[in-house]
Amino acid sequence: MVEATPNGSPRGRILVADDEPHIRRLLTTLLEDASFEVDCVVDGNRALERLEGDGGYDLIVLDIMMPGATGLEVLNRLRGLEHRRGVPVVILTAKGQDADRDEVFNLGADDFVTKPFSPKKLLARIDEIFDRG
Ligand SMILES: [Mg+2]
């Protein structure tokens, strides 16, 4: 259940793309408890389908290693989509892939979080992105 904000509406809608079921479950609970609406997809191709469509998303959480398109490919395509250009992206990636960090920021990601991650810290970073508008 999405908890209402003081004005009664969700704070925003977040697309989560990750192939690991436990990460999707964890993020759904975490974000819904923080009054966000959450839409989960299980691979990069489905993420692209959603993003090429016209569903409204206020933030995207992207895993890098996924079947189909990787998170980096999704991010790259995303930045070329007129209607998604300004949408903040948080990259979630497995430890030991820090070499991706530069590439991720060059492609226009807003934040980079390494798995295993602290749910509380991830939420704080997402809050920060929302609060800065
Ligand atoms: Mg993965």
Whether 58 maps to a domain, the answer reads yes
Q: Is the peptide bond before 116 cis (omega within 30 degrees of 0)?
A: yes
By the CB criterion, residues less than 5 angstroms from ion ligand 1 are 19, 63, 65
The number of distinct structural domains making up the chain is 1
86-124 residue pLDDT tens: 999 999 988 666 667 888 999 999 999 999 999 999 999
**Is 65 among the domain residues?**
yes
pTM: 0.92
Q: Whole domain around residue 71: which residue ranges?
A: 12-127
Q: What is the CATH number of the domain that holds 45?
A: 3.40.50.2300
Q: For residue 17, list its beta bridge partners.
A: 41, 62
**Position 6 in a domain:** no
Q: Is residue 3 part of a domain?
A: no
DSSP element (H, E) containing 40 = strand 36-41
Q: Which residues pair with 37 in a beta bridge?
A: 13
Task: Please give the span between the terminal C-alpha atoms of the chain, in angstroms, as a whole number.
Answer: 25
C-alpha span between 14 and 127 (Å, rounded): 12
- Compute, in angstroms, the gap from residue 117 CA to the centroid of ligand 1: 14
Q: Token pair for residue 126?
A: 């997402």
| Alpha carbon of 42 to ligand 1 centroid (Å) | 9
Asked if the structure places residue 66 within a domain, the reply is yes
